[in-house]
Structure 1
Amino acid sequence: MVDQHDDKNGLRIAVIGAGPAGVYSSDIFLRQLRKEGEKLGVGTDARIDLFEKLPVPFGLVRYGVAPDHPSIKFIADALEKTLDNPDIHLYCDVEFGKDITLDDLLQRYDAVLFATGAVKDKPLNLPGADLDGVYGAAKFVEWYDGYPTGARTWPLDAQQVAVIGGGNVAMDVARELMRNADDLKARTDIPDNVYEGIKGNKARELHLFIRRGVAQAKFSVQELREMEKLPGVQLIINEDDFELDDDTIEEAGKNKLTRQMVEELYAIREMAEDMEDDGDVDFEGNPADRKYYVHFNSAPTEVLGEDGKVKAIRVERTETGADGVMHRTGEFTDYPVQAVYHAIGYQPATAPGIAYDERHAHLANAGGDGRITTEADGGDVRDRLYATGWAKRGPVGLIGSTKSDALMIVTNMLEDLSKAAEGGRIAPDRDPESIDRLLAERGIKPIDFAGWKRIDAFERSEGAKEGREHKKVIDPEQMRELAHAE
Structure 2
Amino acid sequence: MTENDNDNELRIAVVGAGPAGVYSSDIFLRELAKRGADLGLPGHARIDLFEKLPVPFGLVRYGVAPDHPAIKFIADALEKTLDNPDIHLYCDVEFGRDVTLDDLLARYDEVLFATGAVADKLLTIPGADLDGVHGAARFVEWYDGYPTGARTWPLDAESVAVIGGGNVAMDVARELVRNADDLKERTDIPDNVYEGIAQNKARELHLFIRRGVAQAKFSVQELREMEKLPGVQLIINEDDFELDDQTIEVAGQDKLTRQMVEELFVIREMAEDMEDAGGVDFEGNPAPRKYYLHFNAAPTEVLGQDGHVVGLRVEHTQTGADGVMRHTGEFVDYPVGAVYHAIGYKPASVPGVAYDERRSVLANVDGRIIDNPASSDETGDAAVCPRLYATGWAKRGPVGLIGSTKSDALAIVGNMLEDLAQGGLPAKDRDPGSIDRLLDERGVRPIDFAGWKRVDAYERAEGAKEGRDHKKVIDPDQMRSLALG
The TM-score range, normalised by the shorter chain, is over 0.9
Match of 1:385 in 2: 388
AA aligned to 2:396 is R
| Secondary structure of 1:377's aligned partner | helix
Unaligned runs of 5+ in 2: 376-381
Distance 1:418 1:40 in 2: 6
- Answer whether contact 2:120 2:136 (CA < 8 A) is retained: yes
AA aligned to 1:57 is P
**Does 2:293 match 1:290?**
no
AA aligned to 1:473 is V
Q: Where does 1:61-100 land on structure 2 (aligned, <5 Å)?
A: 61-100=60-99
Match of 1:14 in 2: 13
Distance 1:395 1:38 in 2: 35
Distance 1:222 1:283 in 2: 16
Distance 2:210 2:43 in 1: 50
How many residues were matched structurally?
Answer: 479
User: Any idea what the Cα deviations from partners look like across 1:58-77, whole Å, max 9, x if unmatched?
Assistant: 00000000000000000000
**Does 2:427 match 1:427?**
yes
Distance 1:365 1:337 in 2: 42
Match of 2:379 in 1: none
- Answer whether contact 1:107 1:429 (CA < 8 A) is retained: yes
- Answer whether contact 1:21 1:403 (CA < 8 A) is retained: yes
- Answer whether contact 1:7 1:46 (CA < 8 A) is retained: no
**Does 2:230 match 1:231?**
yes
Q: Where does 1:257-336 land on structure 2 (aligned, <5 Å)?
A: 257-336=256-335
AA aligned to 1:227 is M
Cα distance, 1:4 vs structure 2:
12
Out of 412, 415, 420, which is 2:418 matched to?
415
Out of 360, 369, 373, which is 1:372 matched to?
369
AA aligned to 2:441 is E
| Secondary structure of 1:461's aligned partner | helix
Distance 1:195 1:239 in 2: 35
Distance 1:332 1:463 in 2: 48
Distance 2:322 2:42 in 1: 50
Match of 1:436 in 2: 436
Q: Where does 1:38-437 land on structure 2 (aligned, <5 Å)?
A: 38-366=37-365, 369-378=366-375, 379-420=382-423, 424-437=424-437
Distance 1:140 1:370 in 2: 30
- Answer whether contact 2:8 2:42 (CA < 8 A) is retained: no
Distance 2:215 2:6 in 1: 51
Unaligned runs of 5+ in 1: none
AA aligned to 2:271 is A
Distance 2:465 2:179 in 1: 21
- Answer whether contact 2:55 2:91 (CA < 8 A) is retained: yes
Match of 2:484 in 1: 484
Cα distance, 1:322 vs structure 2:
0.2
Distance 1:253 1:222 in 2: 18
| Secondary structure of 1:98's aligned partner | coil
User: Any idea what the Cα deviations from partners look like across 1:183-242, whole Å, max 9, x if unmatched?
Assistant: 000000000000000000000000000000000000000000000000000000001000
AA aligned to 1:17 is G
AA aligned to 2:451 is G
User: Any idea what the Cα deviations from partners look like across 1:327-384, whole Å, max 9, x if unmatched?
Assistant: 0000000000000000000000000010111111100002xx1000011122300100
| Secondary structure of 2:369's aligned partner | strand
AA aligned to 2:398 is P
Distance 1:8 1:426 in 2: 11
User: Any idea what the Cα deviations from partners look like across 1:426-484, whole Å, max 9, x if unmatched?
Assistant: 10000000000000000000000000000000000000000000000000000000000
AA aligned to 1:374 is D
Cα distance, 1:43 vs structure 2:
1.8
Distance 2:4 2:171 in 1: 44
AA aligned to 1:383 is P
| Alpha-carbon spacing, 1:226–1:5, altered in 2? closer, same or farther (3 Å) | farther
Distance 1:274 1:301 in 2: 32
- Answer whether contact 1:3 1:86 (CA < 8 A) is retained: no
Q: TM-score, normalised by structure 1?
A: 0.98
AA aligned to 1:377 is A
Distance 1:84 1:175 in 2: 34
| Alpha-carbon spacing, 1:4–1:391, altered in 2? closer, same or farther (3 Å) | farther
User: Any idea what the Cα deviations from partners look like across 1:384-428, whole Å, max 9, x if unmatched?
Assistant: 0000000000111110110000000000000000001xxx32100
| Alpha-carbon spacing, 1:129–1:393, altered in 2? closer, same or farther (3 Å) | same
Match of 1:474 in 2: 474
Match of 1:445 in 2: 445
Distance 1:117 1:408 in 2: 18
User: Any idea what the Cα deviations from partners look like across 1:110-138, whole Å, max 9, x if unmatched?
Assistant: 00000001111000001000000000000
Cα distance, 1:6 vs structure 2:
6.3
| Secondary structure of 2:349's aligned partner | coil
| Secondary structure of 2:284's aligned partner | coil
Match of 2:378 in 1: none
| Secondary structure of 2:371's aligned partner | strand
Distance 2:251 2:447 in 1: 47
Cα RMSD, aligned residues only: 1.1
Distance 1:456 1:359 in 2: 39
Cα distance, 1:151 vs structure 2:
0.1
Distance 2:159 2:76 in 1: 38
Distance 2:231 2:398 in 1: 33
Distance 2:233 2:270 in 1: 9
Distance 2:6 2:232 in 1: 57
AA aligned to 1:370 is G
Cα distance, 1:270 vs structure 2:
0.3
Distance 2:60 2:460 in 1: 17
Distance 2:388 2:100 in 1: 13
Cα distance, 1:9 vs structure 2:
2.5
